[in-house]
Structure 1
Amino acid sequence: MIDTDQIRADTPATSRLAYLHNAGAALMPTPVVAAMKQHIDLEAEIGGYAAADRESDRLEAVYRSVAHLLNAASDEIALVENATVAWQMAFYALPFRAGDRILTAEAEYAANYVAFLQVAKRTGAVIDVVPSDAGGELDIRALERMIDNRVKLIAITWVPTNGGLVNPAAAIGKIARAHGIPYLLDACQAVGQMEVDVEAIGCDMLSATGRKFLRGPRGTGFLYVRRALLQQLEPPMIDHFAAPWISRDQYRLRDDARRFETWENNYAARLGLGAAVDYALAIGLGPIEQRCRLLADRLRSGLGAISGIRLRDLGRAPGAIVSFTLDGCEAEAMVSSAAAAGITIGVSDPSSTRIDAEVRALPVVARASPHYYNTEAEIDRLVAHVAALAPR
Structure 2
Amino acid sequence: MSKRDYYEILGVEKTANEDDLKKAFRRLAMKYHPDRNPDADAQDKFKEAKEAYEILCDQKKRAMYDQYGHAAFEQGGGRGGGFHGADVGDIFGDIFGDIFGGGRAGGGRPRRGSDLRYVIELDLEEAVFGVERTIEVPTLVACKGCEGSGSKDGKTSTCSTCRGHGRVRMQQGIFSVQQVCPHCAGSGKSISNPCKDCRGEGRVEDERTLQVKIPAGVDSGDRIRLAAQGEAGPAGSEPGDLYVEVRVREHSIFQREGDDLYCELPIRFTQAVLGAELKVPTLEGEATITLPQETQTGKLFRLRGKGVKNVRSGRLGDLHCRVVIETPVKLTKRQRELMEELEGTFEGAEPGAHTPRANSWFDGVKQFWERMTS
TM range (shorter): under 0.3
CA radius of gyration, larger in = 2
Q: Greater share of strand residues, 1 or 2?
A: 2
